[in-house]
């Protein structure tokens, strides 16, 4: 289980998790000029320690109690929005610190809180990326707290080098004229997280591409959906209302689409989801990060 989590962290979590959770590092870096504590690599180490502890504890709980302790998609959507707003606040603080540092060479003696660093690291468990959700489902399947903790620990260890590098880059940028660029990039990342949360919660309007058609055999409709790095294919499918439907999710270099949220639950690809007859209307599903979505239109 530890090796599985480590492989996932190295192979996919490096980009996926840092994209979603890395913005929280912005509040721990970018100390003012003359503030040695703000640039201390130990701050990032405390952040990673908090992240490791939270993920290991969550894995143990998932292995012990199963899906009963997993976060519902709607709650995760709210957390994504809140995280994005937090990152935007941190980004503006980074920009403001740069302005103050340019105006005064002395800076401030205040550094980032040693308590805040592990707390923010622990908070990353509340803003899971697609790979994290997949590993949480694997932790649930172990039925063992030690196995669940091992999965999540491996994920954190596998992605730790990327977080450490990100923290180093942010610290370096905060002390140069590129601090403004770093701040604007953090604002963009925060807005992206907010948009992902709104998408995951189904609170954004979505385009309506021409739908493909479901196939029917023995009174059951079958829909095949492929998860790719560019989203789900086909994006939209037309189906008949009042007829049972079977959705076959397949993985083709899936990226964050490896986990799909449909009918209020998370499913790891590949998987087959069977639904009872549906009323006329639209059924929406979305990847675990809220980036890509698909639709089934019943009529």
**Per-residue pLDDT for 111 more than 50?**
no
For the ranges 161-175, 236-250, 266-280, the lowest mean pLDDT is seen at 161-175
Quick one: pLDDT at residue 168? 73
Quick one: pLDDT at residue 142? 75
Q: Can you spell out the DSSP letters for 205-225?
A: ----PPPEE-EEETTEEEEEE
**Per-residue pLDDT for 5 more than 80?**
no
* Rounded average pLDDT over 28-42: 51
Look at 121 and 29; give whichever has higher pLDDT. Answer: 121
Please compute, for residue 224, the number of CA atoms within 13 A of its CA located in the half-sphere on the CB side: 5
- Distance of alpha carbon 232 from alpha carbon 286, whole angstroms: 9
Where does the pLDDT of residue 129 fall: very low under 50, low under 70, confident under 90, or very high at 90 and above?
confident
Quick one: pLDDT at residue 296? 92
Where does the pLDDT of residue 18 fall: very low under 50, low under 70, confident under 90, or very high at 90 and above?
confident
* Rounded average pLDDT over 242-266: 86
**Per-residue pLDDT for 210 more than 80?**
no
**Per-residue pLDDT for 216 more than 90?**
no
For the ranges 52-56, 63-67, 153-157, 191-195, the lowest mean pLDDT is seen at 63-67
* Rounded average pLDDT over 92-115: 52
Tokens of 216: 């029917």
Where does the pLDDT of residue 57 fall: very low under 50, low under 70, confident under 90, or very high at 90 and above?
very high
Q: Angle at which helices 73-103 and 179-200 pack, to 10 degrees?
A: 170
Q: Angle at which helices 73-103 and 145-174 pack, to 10 degrees?
A: 30
Domains (ranges, CATH) in the chain? 2-200 (no CATH), 212-298 (2.60.40.420)
Q: What is the per-residue pLDDT across 256-272, written as a single tens digit (0 to 9) for each? A: 788 888 988 888 888 99
Where does the pLDDT of residue 205 fall: very low under 50, low under 70, confident under 90, or very high at 90 and above?
low
Instruction: Check: CB of residue 294 under 8 Å from CB of residue 232.
Output: yes
Mean pLDDT of the chain: 76
Quick one: pLDDT at residue 298? 92
Where does the pLDDT of residue 278 fall: very low under 50, low under 70, confident under 90, or very high at 90 and above?
very high
- Distance of alpha carbon 15 from alpha carbon 88, whole angstroms: 20
Quick one: pLDDT at residue 39? 47
**Of 76-80, 209-213, 245-249, where does the model show the most confidence?**
245-249
| Percent of the chain scoring above 90 in pLDDT | 16
**Per-residue pLDDT for 73 more than 70?**
yes
Instruction: Check: CB of residue 3 under 8 Å from CB of residue 158.
Output: no
Give the end-to-end CA distance of the chain in Å, rounded to a whole number: 44
């Amino acid at each position: 289980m530890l090796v599985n989590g480590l492989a996932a962290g190295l192979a996919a979590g490096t980009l996926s998790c840092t994209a979603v959770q890395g913005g929280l590092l912005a509040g721990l870096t970018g100390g003012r000029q003359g503030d040695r504590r703000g640039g201390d690599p130990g701050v990032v180490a405390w952040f990673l320690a908090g992240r490791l502890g939270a993920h290991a504890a969550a894995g143990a709980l998932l292995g012990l109690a199963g899906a009963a302790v997993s976060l519902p998609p709607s709650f995760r959507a709210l957390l994504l929005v809140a995280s994005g707003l937090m990152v935007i606040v941190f980004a503006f603080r980074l920009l403001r610190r740069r302005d103050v540092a340019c105006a005064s060479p002395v800076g401030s003696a205040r550094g980032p809180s040693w308590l805040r660093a592990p707390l923010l690291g622990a908070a990353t468990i509340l803003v899971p990326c697609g790979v994290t959700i997949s590993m949480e489902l694997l932790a649930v399947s172990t039925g063992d707290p030690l196995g669940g903790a091992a999965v999540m620990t491996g994920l954190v260890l596998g992605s730790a080098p990327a977080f450490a590098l990100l923290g180093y880059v942010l610290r370096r940028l905060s002390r140069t004229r590129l601090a403004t660029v770093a701040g604007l990039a953090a604002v963009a990342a925060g807005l992206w997280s907010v948009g992902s949360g709104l998408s995951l919660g189904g609170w954004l309007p979505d385009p309506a591409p021409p739908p493909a058609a479901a196939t029917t055999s023995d009174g059951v409709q079958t829909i095949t959906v492929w998860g790719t790095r560019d989203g789900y294919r086909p994006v939209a499918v037309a189906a008949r209302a009042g007829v049972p439907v079977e959705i076959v999710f397949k993985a083709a270099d899936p990226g964050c689409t490896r986990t799909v949220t449909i009918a209020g639950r998370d499913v790891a690809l590949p998987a087959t989801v069977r639904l009872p007859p549906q009323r006329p209307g639209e059924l929406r599903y979305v990847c675990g990060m809220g980036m890509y979505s698909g639709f089934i239109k019943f009529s």
